[in-house]
Structure 1
Amino acid sequence: MKFAWLIWSILILGLWGLVYWRKPDFRKEMLQISWVTMFFGLTEPLFVPEYWAPPSLFDLANKTGFDIESLLFSFAIGGLGVVLYRLVYPMSISPMIDSDKLHGRHQLHRIILFLPAAIFTVLLVFTSLNPIYSGVIALFLGAVATLYCRPDLKAKIWIGGLLFTGLYFVYFGSLLLVFPSYVDAYWNLADLTGIKLAGIPMEELMFAFSFGMYWSGLYEHVYWYTLNPKEIANGQSVSI
């Protein structure tokens, strides 16, 4: 189990690479969001060992709290999370027209973008919650706030959360098929709910859903894009 975290980080990075290769239209947004998301891997010392303590390359997590695997993993899920909805429901994006940007709800645009970081920091400093719960709450509330600012993205945000949870369930489940005792060995279960679904800690699925929600609408929200149903052969459109 020593290299499990490294191997599965590389596997999901490989999935990122497959999507990047097969979907040229997604490359710009995948790269832009992935590079930003990668730096969230630097928050790993907040979660080790409070949430988990996996073996890492060069034993970095144990020695410093940081690890290379978290950077690879964060890079990969950032790009996948932002395009997963459009992989399932084909749509193009186009810049939002200037008149729509003047709507009153967009006055909170920048505040809402930084809301998850603010909520996470407050919960981390002023509560005794395990950091994973602070992260889940921050991401979920950030997604809900995004729904206020961008109601046109509601399907992408809610369904994006479900889709990413499904992907993450398969991803994590594959790890447990090879290393069935991995969770019991390296998660701080005494500080968590102890609830598991097919061996996967409930907290992991909560993270997947909240992350999928927030990241699903992130590119369109940050860069002022709207979704457009793609035309199909008979001239009708595909929408959800």
Structure 2
Amino acid sequence: MPYEFLVLSVLFLVPGSCFWFLRPDLRPLMKQTVGVSLPFAATERLFYPEYWTPRFLFGLADRIGFGIEDVLFVAGLGAFSSTAYAVAFRRTLAPHGASTKPWRRAVGAFALALSVTGVLLVAGVSILYAAVATMVSISTALLLTRRDLGVPGLLGALVSAAIYLGLCLVFAALVPGVFERTWKPSLLLPGRLLGVPLDEVLYGLGAGFGATVVPAWAFGWRFVPSQTRTT
């Protein structure tokens, strides 16, 4: 199949779409997270072709550094990873005090993430591990001011990684041999889990942790038990 990343990107839209329809109470967080996530599509130039070599629609990655697939992928990942904890553990959203200039906080977190990633790349860290280290370190630092997000962050990481792994397994079934053909050999984690590169599982964990903690901190949300039906 020539456009394997497009297949993966469409698959990643499925969980978030289901959450959107089944959990309207989580839609504000999903919209905010997707809005914050979209600029990360432009970071594809850091992954391609060092980390992997998929074919992009219209060859956009070679022309502008990222493609339509990246926009779909980060939107889907942001939607389900920010809400996976709430869905799995029947939590809903409640305001956490008065959020001061939430979008400025979000932009600040994005700028800090790019800065930390840049420093790690200059230090010689591979992009995949630099991205995961950035997500985990920034989220952990934010927990100093929002300790209530610690458990949601850890559980959200696990649930998101499970969803991520499941989507990769479906992807591998639809496009046999794709991980062998398209992914570069891992530098630190050469093993596989059910045929999926451990690097991808690690990325799913980091994304779940960051997407559970950072948007809730930036936009002033906390997770509380859901007392009513939310469907």
TM range (shorter): 0.7 to 0.9
- Using CA pairs under 8 Å that are at least 6 residues apart, name the structure with larger relative contact order, 1 or 2: 2
Q: Tell me the SS of whatever aligns to 2:124.
A: coil
Q: Structure 1: which 5+ residue stretches go unaligned? A: 102-108, 234-240
Aligned 1:89-238 pairs, distance under 5 A: 89-97=89-97, 113=109, 115-124=112-121, 126-189=122-185, 191=187, 193-231=189-227
* Aligned residues with identical type, % of pairs: 25
Quote how far apart the aligned CAs of 1:112 are. Answer: 8.6
- Equivalence for 1:237: none
Query: How many pairs does the alignment contain?
Result: 224
- Equivalence for 2:87: 87
Q: Return the letter of the residue paired with 2:11.
A: L
Are residues 225 and 128 of structure 1, via their aligned partners in 2, closer, same or farther at CA, if it must alter by over 3 Å? Answer: same
Q: Return the letter of the residue paired with 1:143.
A: S
Over aligned residue pairs, what C-alpha RMSD do you find? 2.4
- Equivalence for 1:77: 77
Q: Aligned partners of 2:224 and 2:181: how far apart in 1?
A: 46
- Equivalence for 1:104: none
Q: Return the letter of the residue paired with 2:113.
A: P
Q: Which moved more, 1:158-167 or 1:82-91?
A: 82-91
- Equivalence for 1:9: 9
TM-score, normalization: structure 1?
Answer: 0.84
Are residues 216 and 178 of structure 1, via their aligned partners in 2, closer, same or farther at CA, if it must alter by over 3 Å? Answer: same
Aligned 1:28-39 pairs, distance under 5 A: 28-39=28-39
Q: Which has the larger radius of gyration?
A: 1
Query: Is the CA contact (8 Å cut-off) linking 1:92 and 1:227 kept in structure 2?
Result: yes
Query: Is the CA contact (8 Å cut-off) linking 1:112 and 1:142 kept in structure 2?
Result: no
Q: Tell me the SS of whatever aligns to 2:190.
A: coil
TM-score, normalization: structure 2?
Answer: 0.87
Q: Return the letter of the residue paired with 1:160.
A: G
Q: Aligned partners of 2:62 and 2:187: how far apart in 1?
A: 19
Q: Which moved more, 1:162-171 or 1:210-219?
A: 210-219
Structure 2 residue 17 is matched with structure 1 residue 20: no
Quote how far apart the aligned CAs of 1:60 are. Answer: 2.2
